[in-house]
Structure 1
Amino acid sequence: MAIDKSLKVKAGVTASRSVLTRVERITRLREMEKWGEESSPFGLPKVRVRKLQLKKKKKTKKEEDDK
């Protein structure tokens, strides 16, 4: 079955995920040099997921006067 067009999210997945797949966890552990080829893919240690937050721009005096 296809998803109705009205139910689809136009921007895609915009929220950051809190859970990584096994492959993503292994790649992150390799980057941190905590996982080797002889290690088992089961029982992997936890990997922190960094959430990005964009800072809001401060309004300048010109922008406040224009409004």
Structure 2
Amino acid sequence: MSIDKSLKRKSTGVRNRSVLKRSERILALQESDRFKEGQSPFGLPKVRVVKIVLKKAKKEKTEDEGAAKDKKK
């Protein structure tokens, strides 16, 4: 029996993965000149996965908000 669409999690593919596919590892190694043409794709060295952290931008105070807060004090 399958799960109903409404019960499936929407964020299943959004998380950072800690493991790369072989093709992704080869691309990363080629960028750092650690993989040579003709080299076997088996027994590849480890590749560090860089996690991207996005910070939320702070709201800048407008002149109206700043003036309103000064009046309250």
- Structure 2 residue aligned with 1:10: 10
Aligned residues: 64
Give unmatched runs, 5+ long, in structure 1: none
TM-score, L = length of structure 2:
0.66
Q: Distance in 1 between matches of 2:49 and 2:16?
A: 9
Return the letter of the residue paired with 2:26.
I
Alignment TM-score, normalising by the size of structure 1: 0.71
| 1:10-57 deviations in Å (ceiling 9; x for gaps) | 345111100001111011111111101221111101111111111132
Which residues of structure 2 form unaligned runs of 5+? 69-73
What is the CA distance between 1:61 and its match in structure 2? 4.0
Indicate the RMSD between aligned Cα atoms, in angstroms.
Answer: 2.2
Q: 2:28 is matched with which residue?
A: 28
Question: Larger radius of gyration, structure 1 or 2?
Answer: 2
Q: Which has the higher contact order (CA 8 A, sep 6+)?
A: 1
Deviation at 1:4, TM superposition (A): 2.4
